[in-house]
Structures are given as C-alpha cells and as structure tokens.
Amino acid sequence: MQAIKRLDIVSILLTIFMVLLISLFGYLYKVDKGIQNYTLNHDHIIPLELIDKQLNDFSATVNTLSDYDKVNQKLFTFQKNLKILEENLQRTYADNVTIEKQLRNIKKNYENKAQELEYFKSLNASLISGSHFLFDLQRTIADDKNISTKVKSLINEALFYILRYTNSSYIDKSYVRNKLHELKKLTQHSKFVKNFYKQSLIMLDTVAELKNSAKNIHNSRLADAITDLHKTLDTKYKQDLAIQKNIALLFFLSVIIMLIALIITHIHALKNEKELLAFKYAVQHSDNTIVITDPQKKITSISKMNC
C-alpha cells in the first residue's frame, strides 16, 4: 500500500503505456506469423489447383505420345506441395477437425486420380503402339493385289471409324463394332485382313477403356476437395483479419485513453506548478519570516527575505 502511494499517477500511466506497447509488439509478431502462414498455405495450394488442371489436360491427349517423365514430375510436385501444406496446417490448426477432414479428402481423391492416371498412361501407350501395327496392316492390305477392292474399302472404312471413335465422342462404340463385324465375314480372304480384324477389336476395347479412364480423371473430385480447403483457409484468414482489426482498434482506443489521461495529468500538473510558483512567490516576498520544518522540527526551508 505504501509502495502504491509512492507511485504517482504519471508513473502508473507510463507503466501501463509500456505494457501496452510490448503487448502491441507481441501481437504484431503474431499477426506477421499469421500472414506468413497464410502466404505459405496459399503458395502450396495454388500449385495443387494448377497441377490438377494440367492432369485433366493430360487426360485429353488420347492417342498422343506424351513425355510421361513430365507427367510423373507433376505428380511428384503435387505430393511435395501437399506434404508441406499438410505439415504447415497441422502446425497451425492442430485441432481443427474441418481442415483435417478436408486434407484427408484431398489425399484420398489424389490417390484415386493418380491411380487412374497410371491406368490412362498404360492404355494410351498401348493404343499408340497398337495403332502403328494397324496402320502398317492397312498399308499392306492396300498394296495387296489379291485382296478385293470391296475388302480394302471396308478396311479403310473400319480404320476411319476407329480413328473417329478415338478422337471424338460423336461415334458410338457399337457402330464401329458393327463395321468390324461386316469385316469379320471377309476375314477368310487374307491373313492380313484376319489380323486387322483381331487387332481392331482389341484396339476398340482399348479406346473404350481409355476414354472411360479419361472421363474418370476429368470427373475426379480432387479439384472440389482442393477448393473446399482453399475456401476454408480463406474464411479462417478473413475471420482472423476481422479479429485482428478489432484488437487493433482496441489498442488504438487504449492508447487514446492513455493519451487523454496523460494530457489531463499534465494539465493538472501545470496547474499545480502554477500554484506552487505563486505560493513560492508569496513566501519569498512575505514581510514575515516563514520557516518550514520537518516532522522532527528541523528547519528545511526559510524565506529569503530574512536571510
């Protein structure tokens, strides 16, 4: 109690002011950390969205020889970004069930998509390598004088429809299969025609599976899963920003209050100083001798006029 009495109001105000400043500094550090975390999450979630789109684009390259090393590199980069994102989120939002669930959802959808991509790669490679033989057979049959024009024409037509079926969705598989059945009746004419028929059937099934695989890749829910997490992180960041704004406002108001308190104290001090100066003047110019003593009656001050 004695100690508090000894503290004047200015010292208390200054101490509170210092505490406020230190808290503000600490809070700014926390805000900065939040920004860094958001940037880090953002920097790793954007590549996930981009790679997902690139993988969808890759699934549209049916019957095209692509560099699978590059596709694998994209998958590797996806996994790397996802791992960093997961570690950072586990650190920042350790107990957030929604984020944890959304991360699991991304991982599950990614695994499904990656598996489907592997299947797509295999089928696409099989289609390309099988196409070479089909084209070679078509050329051999075209040059074979023992094969009738009717059969050659049917072979060309069948190949035409297989290629159309490969590259567009306007032709139905059953339509191409019917064309091949027409060819089946003529396979006894030549072993090349028989080979062409057999190879075409396998190719047709491969194309159908490949298209189905491409569709599965395209219909993957991975993009939605990433978007969900992205939205949650954005919402959380906006919420944090709103809280930060309120806290900043609170700091501002506290500082203003402190400032007003200091101004009032200062005005009060000025008033006291003025009164003291007047008192001093009065004492110094008094005709009487004024002696000020301490409680032990020892003289501590005496008016100058009598010195």
Partner 1 sequence: MKLQIILFVILFLSLQNTLLAKEPIEPIPEHVKVDARKVALGKKLFFDTLLSKDNTISCASCHMLQAGGDDNLRVSFGIKGQQGTRNAPTVYNSVFNFRQFWDGRAADLKEQAMGPVENPVEMGNSFANLIATLQKTPYKQEFTKLYKDGITKENIADAIAEYEKTLITPNAPFDRYLKGDVTALTQTQKEGYELFKAKGCISCHHGVNIGGNMYNKFGIFLDSNSSDPGRYNVTHKERDKYYFKVSSLRNIAQTAPYFHDGRTDSLRIAVLTMAKYQLGRKITLAEVDKIVAFLQSLNGELPKDIEP
- CA atoms of 71 and 148, how far apart (whole Å): 45
Angle at 295 between CA 290 and CA 301, to 5 degrees: 30
Q: State in angstroms the smallest separation of the CB of 247 from partner 1.
A: 39
Q: State in angstroms the smallest separation of the CB of 130 from partner 1.
A: 6
Q: State in angstroms the smallest separation of the CB of 158 from partner 1.
A: 10
Q: State in angstroms the smallest separation of the CB of 197 from partner 1.
A: 12
Compute CA distances 151 → 159, 174, 180, whole Å: 12, 20, 11
| Span interacting with partner 1, options 28-36, 60-68, 214-222, 282-290, rule CB under 8 A | 60-68
| Span interacting with partner 1, options 51-59, 61-69, 229-237, 272-280, rule CB under 8 A | 61-69
Interface pick for partner 1 out of 25, 29, 135, 175 (rule CB under 8 A): 135
Compute CA distances 254 → 41, 111, 250, whole Å: 34, 53, 6
Q: Which is nearer to partner 1, 125 or 276 (CB)?
A: 125
Q: Which is nearer to partner 1, 96 or 216 (CB)?
A: 216
Report residue 139 CA to chain centroid gap: 53
Interface pick for partner 1 out of 27, 68, 237, 251 (rule CB under 8 A): 68
Does residue 118 bind partner 1 (CB under 8 A)? yes
**Which 146-185 positions form the footprint of partner 1 (CB under 8 A)?**
153, 156-157, 159-160, 163-164, 166-167
E-strand ranges in the chain read: 291-293, 299-302
- For the range 144-147, what are the long-range contacts, defined as Cβ-Cβ under 8 Å and sequence gap of 24 or more? 144/190, 144/192, 146/190, 147/189, 147/190, 147/192, 147/193
| Of 148, 134, 111, 149, nearest in space to 63 by CA | 134
**Which 192-211 positions form the footprint of partner 1 (CB under 8 A)?**
195, 198-199, 202, 206
Q: State in angstroms the smallest separation of the CB of 110 from partner 1.
A: 14
Q: State in angstroms the smallest separation of the CB of 129 from partner 1.
A: 3
- For CA atoms 255, 257, 258, 259, the dihedral sign is positive
Does residue 17 bind partner 1 (CB under 8 A)? no
Does residue 144 bind partner 1 (CB under 8 A)? no
Contact in structure between 123 and 209 (CB atoms under 8 Å): yes
Does residue 60 bind partner 1 (CB under 8 A)? no
Q: State in angstroms the smallest separation of the CB of 248 from partner 1.
A: 41
CB within 8 Å of 211: residues ≥ 6 apart? 62, 169
Q: Which amino acid is at 57?
A: D
Does residue 216 bind partner 1 (CB under 8 A)? no
**Which 245-304 positions form the footprint of partner 1 (CB under 8 A)?**
none
| Of 35, 34, 45, nearest in space to 86 by CA | 45
What is the contact surface with partner 1 in residues (CB under 8 A)? 63-65, 67-69, 72, 115, 118-119, 121-122, 124-126, 128-133, 135-136, 138, 153, 156-157, 159-160, 163-164, 166-167, 195, 198-199, 202, 206
